[in-house]
């Protein structure tokens, strides 16, 4: 029974770490590093593997940002942290109505490669996603 418990715990730990895992820059494909350097010249990034893509976390003009790249160097989205008060009013209203008493810990603006904008509000250790107009899309548990 003890062996079963240890095996189960090990599988769960591996599963949780597979979602976003810090990686050394040497493990980031060349096309990804080249694309990052071209898009954000002179900036240094910390890297994570996120579901088979490569996420660069960095600061630009004092703002915390990230950019997500496919292995071929194609940027699929970028994200910039924003003040909670800068989230669209419908986002704030939705959170107030659906997460009674909760506060938004962080806000972010996500821009997809095709120009689509989404907003993210971190509430109760979850990312709550909204479209550009502030309409609820989904919850993503951290």
* Cα 113 from Cα 6, distance rounded (Å): 42
Which range marks the domain in which residue 24 is found?
2-141
Structural domain count, the chain: 1
What tens digit of pLDDT does each residue of 75-112 get?
Answer: 999 999 999 999 999 999 999 999 999 999 999 999 99
Output the domain CATH number for residue 99: 3.10.450.360
**Residue 44 scores a pLDDT above 70:** yes
């Amino acid at each position: 029974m003890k062996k079963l418990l240890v095996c189960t715990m090990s599988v769960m730990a591996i599963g949780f770490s597979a979602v976003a895992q810090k990686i050394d820059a040497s493990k980031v494909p060349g096309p990804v590093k080249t694309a990052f350097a071209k898009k954000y010249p002179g900036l240094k990034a910390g890297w994570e593997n996120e579901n088979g893509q490569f996420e660069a976390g960095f600061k630009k003009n004092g703002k915390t940002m990230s950019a997500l790249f496919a292995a071929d160097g194609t940027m699929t989205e970028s994200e910039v942290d924003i003040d909670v008060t800068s989230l669209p009013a419908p986002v704030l209203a939705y959170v107030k109505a659906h997460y009674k008493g909760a506060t938004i810990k962080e806000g972010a603006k996500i821009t997809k490669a095709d120009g689509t904008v989404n907003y993210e509000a971190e509430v109760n250790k979850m990312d709550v996603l909204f479209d550009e107009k502030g309409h609820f899309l989904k919850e993503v548990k951290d």
